[in-house]
Chain A
């Protein structure tokens, strides 16, 4: 018998010992970061960067496969007891000696997770991790000249790149409201002092928004540079237009943070994505009834919110709890009780 077959036998036996739980349920008690466990990480430190941004140092579990500079990672963290998932760019270099990774988070107004991470997260906290992903990365072959065009927290994936790979000729144009809002400012200035980076800061409170035409004056050879741009959609849209007008679009790489803005309304178009049906729903009829009327096979039970026999994944949009008025927005892993939830705007129910 091969060793893998042997190991899987042994594991089967262990499962018989621990049924109905799994061996991992017990191992998690002592070693949540071990190899083979669900991927998790432990927050080891929180370093303030600016008034509303902080860098979180995370020790990832043994299953972490490592990242490429510029990628992001999804983390799941419990805020007020509720697990919430968000994606953040990795800001640590890929060859960090101690094996830790960092994300740098800017607290956005009303952002549950970002505010929690920046202001309340404590070292020692266990978080859930996904493997890193994203194709906003540097190429294998080093380009001769590089331009980084960033704004606000769009600097975070680029910082991961700057810390990871040195180029001979790097220019950065970064926009932030005021000097003190520039994340990593002193580190950037150190790089400038070491002649490893040429930096232009645009302070939008005083200078106004960056006019893309000014690039000719700030970085005269911008069109020759391999460019990575990250920031608000407005900036990226104008950049894409500008680069394409000059016929050099293939040199521009962009990363968009898509804030999912859900407008909670009263009723909306409901999609039952597994069945492929779309119907209009008002804000007062339970989604269970809406689905059944549309001929979708809906699981149900008590029809009054007590048995949890009707829970179904909410894939997109928002619903309102008809008992409390509470709004639930779609997020990975969010299940709703269809018998007491009504559409609060367009939504997608996995049935």
Chain B
């Protein structure tokens, strides 16, 4: 935690005013949602399906290296689209307003081993409510890493760059385990808890289907191209996993992003909640294609402020949000992907080593506000 609270200069009234200004931005987008937005998500979905279909078709001939390359690249992109711009955003309820049962958070299932139902709970509910609150938001380090100087160091943390790398490669399995709270639930009697067992079963079913499809059925369909197709799907999954892990690390991990203590969110107002989202997230700058491939999570700050606004609107919202950052003299953490990825990894490595305890404790915002 930083020694100095970067929001200390704001009064309670200012924070509430900021909240109202953000609400106004949100209302404006909601009032303007319509046909164009619906057409956008439909187009993205059919593009993704076409790309996946064509790529899998090409992979039937992946015994020929150019077909392998083309098919693998196409499938990687299709999987990224499925998880990022489509799956993540639909599961946030961003498109529920269309009332199309086929594009709805309650019916959508994604190309991922974590069943959407479980992911919605751990991601939408826990992570988005308790963003960056140590001990409450397990997305911070996924429970396997030390993420702040204030946390006690154990020798086991020396391994965290390695865990993080392994987690990146098998990210979807990491997420599934994380959604199951596997670490906690494998202990002692918890394993027998019927609720946990039901959820574990659901994950098992999903994994079986995913593995069967990617590593048995499609390779078998390819006949003589069995092995190349197997390698291609493995590669596509790997690419998708590393890509989404990188994007997601950039959301809350780069230097400059704040973390919060549990007690600091007690009795949090709407304005304070917004402020925490602003200080707890970081963006990625880049081209339109870049934003698209990250599922617009490059606009992580905007996404955390308004998780249920359609993703195609984050770019325009970002302009207004950024202006508010300037107005209230707050730091808008953003940068190109390589810089942000490096910054996040740097932190992982740095915190794998012991450090001196920071001298100044984080001021307790809630108390300060009472004083102000």
Contacts and interface: CB of A to CB of B under 8 A. Distances in A.
A81 B98 contact: yes
A324 interface: yes
B364 interface: no
Contact of B98 (A17, A82, A308): A82
A334 B53 CA distance: 32
Contacts of B273: 304
Contacts of A302: 124-125, 128-129
A6 interface: no
A83 interface: yes
A72 B35 CA distance: 27
Given A20-B209, A307-B120, A311-B106, A81 B96 contact: no
A334 B206 CA distance: 28
Contact of B128 (A80, A83, A306, A326): A306
B93 A308 contact: yes
Interface in A303-318: 304-309, 311
A13 B218 CA distance: 11
Contacts of A304: 129, 273
Contact of B110 (A20, A26, A29): A20
A301 B34 contact: no
Interface residues of B, number: 46
Given A17-B218, A29-B46, A82 B97 contact: yes
A335 interface: yes
A23 B65 CA distance: 29
Contacts of B212: 16, 19
Contacts, number: 101
A342 B109 CA distance: 30
A308 B96 contact: yes
Contacts of B105: 308, 311
B34 A80 contact: yes
B129 A307 contact: yes
B124 A16 contact: no
A335 B106 CA distance: 10
Interface string A78-106: 10111110000000000000000000000
A16 B307 contact: no
B92 interface: yes
B35 A81 contact: yes
B35 A309 contact: no
Given A25-B49, A78-B98, A324 B213 contact: no
B19 to A, nearest CB: 12
B74 to A, nearest CB: 15
B51 to A, nearest CB: 11
A323 to B, nearest CB: 7
Nearest to A331: B99
Interface in A259-316: 301-302, 304-309, 311
B12 interface: no
B191 to A, nearest CB: 25
A78 B27 CA distance: 22
A333 interface: yes
B30 A307 contact: no
30 contacts: A17-B213, A17-B217, A19-B212, A20-B209, A21-B49, A29-B50, A78-B98, A78-B100, A80-B35, A81-B33, A82-B38, A82-B97, A82-B98, A83-B100, A84-B99, A301-B125, A302-B128, A302-B129, A304-B129, A306-B124, A306-B129, A307-B121, A307-B129, A308-B92, A308-B106, A309-B120, A324-B27, A324-B30, A333-B99, A335-B96
10 tightest Cβ-Cβ pairs between the two chains A and B: A81-B38, A308-B93, A301-B125, A307-B124, A20-B109, A307-B125, A80-B34, A302-B129, A83-B99, A19-B209
Interface of A: 13, 16-21, 25-26, 29, 78, 80-84, 301-302, 304-309, 311, 323-324, 326, 331, 333-335
Given A78-B38, A324-B30, 13 more contacts: A17-B218, A17-B221, A19-B209, A80-B35, A81-B36, A82-B99, A83-B98, A306-B124, A306-B128, A307-B125, A308-B106, A309-B120, A335-B106
Interface of B: 23, 26-27, 30, 33-39, 46, 49-50, 53, 92-93, 96-102, 105-106, 109-111, 120-121, 124-125, 128-129, 206, 209-210, 212-213, 217-218, 221, 273, 307-308
